[in-house]
Homo-oligomer: A and B are copies of this chain.
Amino acid sequence: MPVGTQATVKALGQQDLKDLGARIILGNTYHLYLRPGTDTIAEAGGLHRFMSWDRAMLTDSGGFQVRSLASLNEITEEGVLFQSHVDGSRHLFTPEEVMRLEHKLGADIIMAFDECTPYPCDRAYAQESGERTLRWAERCVKAYDALGRKSETGEFQALFGVIQGSTYLELRDRFTEEMLAFDLPGYAVGGACVGEPKAMTWEAVESITSRVPRDTPRYLMGCGPPEDLAGAVCRGIDMFDCVMPTRNARNGTVFTRQGKMSMRNAKYAKDFSPIDHDCSCYTCQNYSRAYVRHLLHVNEILGYRLTTIHSLHFYLELMREMRNAILAQRFGAWYETFQHRYLGEAAVSVTS
């Protein structure tokens, strides 16, 4: 899912996203609650109508942002009291309030309110916080049911539970079992991809993917590097979101099948070939490395748009490739080829 934090995927228009084949994008409840305000979006008829996006959409719960962006946050059983990073105003997010906000925003998939534990996190806190997240999930489910499992405009919303447990496998195992008892339409791995060693990420992932029913979507929150997307799909994950392709693109770093490229590099000043010869994206079909490098060098908006289009195309194409390989029952072969190509020969031994 391309990330559209403030009701726009940065540097792109909605038609760009459709042209890229994006079928779902993510919006951030915390940001939209603060600006333009959940009530404004509800008055517009929901987030889809507000931003003219007629494909699927997911909203997160704000649980990550109240910890990472807001200040002076205070976590109690009731919820999280925080100060806005925009104007310092004080707000309280509770499971019930977040369900009400996501009901107003009206995304197709909504996330339960959770506390995202940082890394490192001691065992006692991981247990205390993860148990609270389960109690919050129960309150979320009650509020969700009370709202008829529907958005304010009457459309079905799928509530996903977020499973925490930090790097403690026995906690992950137990929290997954308890979360599965809510019988939700989907489940997410939370509190991973926050700086922990990769082996620990995979432990957390497999703890969940080995338990969640086969036909139920599994979502690894905040996972960014292409090789990690592939590694996570290999372990049973279906969905991802990350600002990595879009944020890196605006900084000039793009992803290709051969690895990353820094498009601000002076060596591209007179390089009139496309970013990637094998790429079918709009940028590579129409513009050269030299032109993109020039635009970034002189801070022109079109530069950010062209790099973002390229990198999102790369990510969405990567997901399409994996989907097709799974359907054709040749994911293993695909994965080996991907690793050779993307990470180089040396990397293959790591996963063999």
Contacts and interface: CB of A to CB of B under 8 A. Distances in A.
Interface of A: 6-8, 10-14, 35-36, 40, 43-45, 50-52, 269-270, 272, 286-288, 290-291, 293-295, 297-298, 300-306
Nearest to A299: B6
A41 B35 CA distance: 42
The 3 residue pairs across chains A and B that have the minimum distance between CB atoms: A36-B294, A8-B302, A52-B286
A247 to B, nearest CB: 13
Contacts of A11: 301-302
Contacts of A272: 43-45
Given A10-B300, A10-B301, A40-B290, 5 more contacts: A6-B298, A8-B295, A35-B298, A40-B269, A301-B304
A297 B287 CA distance: 31
Contacts of A43: 270, 272
Contacts of A51: 287, 291
Nearest to A45: B272
A165 B295 CA distance: 37
Contacts of A50: 288, 290-291
Contacts of A40: 269-270, 290, 294
Contacts of A290: 36, 40, 44, 50
Nearest to A52: B286
Contacts of A302: 8, 10-13
B301 A6 contact: no
Nearest to A40: B270
B52 A287 contact: yes
A123 to B, nearest CB: 39
29 contacts: A6-B294, A6-B295, A6-B300, A7-B291, A7-B294, A7-B295, A8-B300, A10-B300, A10-B302, A11-B301, A13-B305, A13-B306, A36-B269, A40-B269, A40-B290, A40-B294, A43-B270, A43-B272, A44-B272, A44-B290, A45-B272, A50-B288, A50-B290, A50-B291, A51-B287, A51-B291, A52-B286, A301-B301, A301-B305
A128 to B, nearest CB: 35
Contacts of A297: 35-36
A127 B303 CA distance: 44
Contacts of A36: 269, 290, 293-294, 297
